[in-house]
Amino acid sequence: VGPTNSRPTNNITTGLCQSRSSIATLASNHSCVNSYGQTQQGVFPVMLLGQLLLGISTVPIQPFGMSYVDDYASRRNSPFYIGILLAVTSLGPAAGFMMGSFTLRFYVDFDKTPTDQIQIDSKDLRWVGAWWLGFLIASFLAFFREYWSDNYHSLSLPPPGFPRIALRTLQNPVFMLMCLGQVFCAGIIVGVVTFLAKFMERQFNLTASYATMLIGVVHMPVCVAAIVIGGAVMRRLDLSRSGAAKWCSLAIICTLFVSVPLLFIGCPTQRVAGVFPTSRDGSETACSGRCECPQDAFNPVCASDGTEFRSPCHAGCIAMETDSSSQKVQVGVAGWRWWLRAAGTCGSRCAHLLVVFMVLSALTCFIGPTCKAPCFSTILRYTHMDLGGGAGVFHNTPVIHLYASFLPTPVIYGSVIDSSCILWGRKCGKKTSCQYYDLDSFRHRQVPLAYFIKPLFTRLKSH
């Protein structure tokens, strides 16, 4: 991983107001060059290759494992064991979230940048954590000594009638509806899990490491327990295929109603001069009218009245000094002085809503996954009993899930989130990451996206 070529500083004197002439002088001495060399350009293909290998290695686990359990366990116990298998495979992501909460506390280039030159912390909006460190730690698991069994078995080819069975299975509407239901369910999971940390960061002003830790400590264990409980319930009640389908529909409907309050739980959008509200009140112009502020300047400061400015320059700061007793910053603006509350973002005043959000979101994470084991058990039973051994086609259903949900869903969720951005960062004339979101739009667009998918899942399961 190459260096970021930029080391943000929390020194509040960075980005002070400068006259147009001095800016022109600085601009003439500075040229925007491409910071991505050959080393950095090769990182992305390597990551894609790694993800491809990861997908190849993980796809066989669920289909072959569940088919094995279903073949050797009794009809009554099979859902419970399948639930345990699915729950165990969810422990890996839970451990990953916990590892991420640890690695994101380190600066992305901590191995190349001296500690005294890293002058921002994880609470700063410009902080980029060491996202790559988790891959390095996990790679050590691949260095265990291999063990080869002395028992070798020859691989048998599919039976001659397999293409006919596969075609009949894929043409069966009930089987395809169940698979499509799983696709929509997987789409909800992958979309929420991928962007839940970002949602919590922005809505409740959390650090990336803290948001990731909450997911690993609260949401993932609840989800794992729910999967096991779902299998145990199906075993205890000895649900039939229709009973399991009704159970899944009821669970998703309950999840839908529990999720409704999440539309209204979140912080309002921070007032940022010149950015939000969209109706300009002239506060930024009044402060920075004599300044020539770079468009890519981003070093937030908070005024004493709760208004946030993108940088000291946008606040019109020409001189600053810190009052050690009050921890406030006195600012010189065009001949007069006023007070900033602090360097950095103003934060939010609704931290108490985080507890309510965690309770409701954990409840949705508990209710929804209870139908995962019953759903897979239903598909297995249907392929075995009604399709004359079509369970071999079941081996390919994770591939269907992969292409139909895991590939497009993150892109859809990401596009919806990007549509709520009200200020994009700029560097060398190119758009970078979003600096400010309209939090109400963020919340009102992301949460209903799952509402749109859940009824489709419920409708397909009810057939």
Instruction: Tell me the average pLDDT of the chain.
Output: 74
Q: How far, in Å, CA of 40 to CA of 364, rounded?
A: 40
- Residue 80 confidence (pLDDT): 83
- Residue 262 confidence (pLDDT): 86
Task: Give the 3-state secondary structure of residue 338.
Answer: strand
Q: How far, in Å, CA of 1 to CA of 44, rounded?
A: 10
Do residues 205 and 96 lie in contact, with contact meaning Cβ atoms separated by under 8 Å?
Answer: no
- Residue 271 confidence (pLDDT): 85
* Whether the predicted pLDDT of 456 surpasses 60: no
Q: Between residues 167 and 300, which one has the greater pLDDT? A: 300
The string of pLDDT tens digits covering residues 261-291 is: 888 888 888 888 888 876 555 555 556 666 7
Q: How far, in Å, CA of 408 to CA of 410, rounded?
A: 6
CA distances 376 to 43, 148, 162, 288, 381, Å, are 38, 32, 21, 61, 9
Per-residue burial over 310-333, b if 16 or more Cβ lie within 10 Å, else e, is: bbbbbbbbbebeeeeeeeebebbb
Nearest to 420 by CA among 150, 155, 199: 199
First CA to last CA distance, the chain: 50
Task: Give the 3-state secondary structure of residue 110.
Answer: coil
Q: Read off the pLDDT band of 40 (50, 70, 90).
A: low
Q: Where are the domains of the chain?
A: 73-103+161-265+349-461
Q: How far, in Å, CA of 130 to CA of 106, rounded?
A: 5
Query: Global pTM?
Result: 0.75
Q: Which two tokens stand for residue 109?
A: 């280039």
Nearest to 310 by CA among 322, 294, 321, 289: 294
Q: What is the fold, at CATH topology level, of the domain defined by 73-103+161-265+349-461?
A: Growth Hormone; Chain: A; (1.20.1250)
Which residue in this structure is represented by tokens 């965690």? 358
The string of pLDDT tens digits covering residues 148-173 is: 666 655 555 555 666 776 677 777 77
Q: Read off the pLDDT band of 5 (50, 70, 90).
A: very low
Mean pLDDT of 402-429: 81
- Residue 358 confidence (pLDDT): 92
Lowest mean pLDDT across 56-70, 96-110, 131-145, 183-197: 56-70
Q: Read off the pLDDT band of 356 (50, 70, 90).
A: very high
The string of pLDDT tens digits covering residues 46-99 is: 878 877 787 777 767 766 777 777 777 777 788 888 888 888 877 888 888 888
Q: Which two tokens stand for residue 333?
A: 């603006």
Do residues 218 and 113 lie in contact, with contact meaning Cβ atoms separated by under 8 Å?
Answer: no
Amino acid at 355: V
Q: How far, in Å, CA of 362 to CA of 213, rounded?
A: 14
Q: How far, in Å, CA of 201 to CA of 193, rounded?
A: 14
Q: Which two tokens stand for residue 56?
A: 């190849």
Do residues 309 and 287 lie in contact, with contact meaning Cβ atoms separated by under 8 Å?
Answer: yes
H helices of 238-368, in order, are 241-259, 283-288, 353-367
Q: How far, in Å, CA of 401 to CA of 409, rounded?
A: 11
**DSSP 8-class letter at 316:** T
Q: Where are the beta strands (DSSP E) in 249-334?
A: 301-303, 308-309, 319-323, 328-333
Distance between alpha carbon 439 and the CA centroid of its chain, in Å?
A: 16
Q: Between residues 331 and 23, which one has the greater pLDDT? A: 331
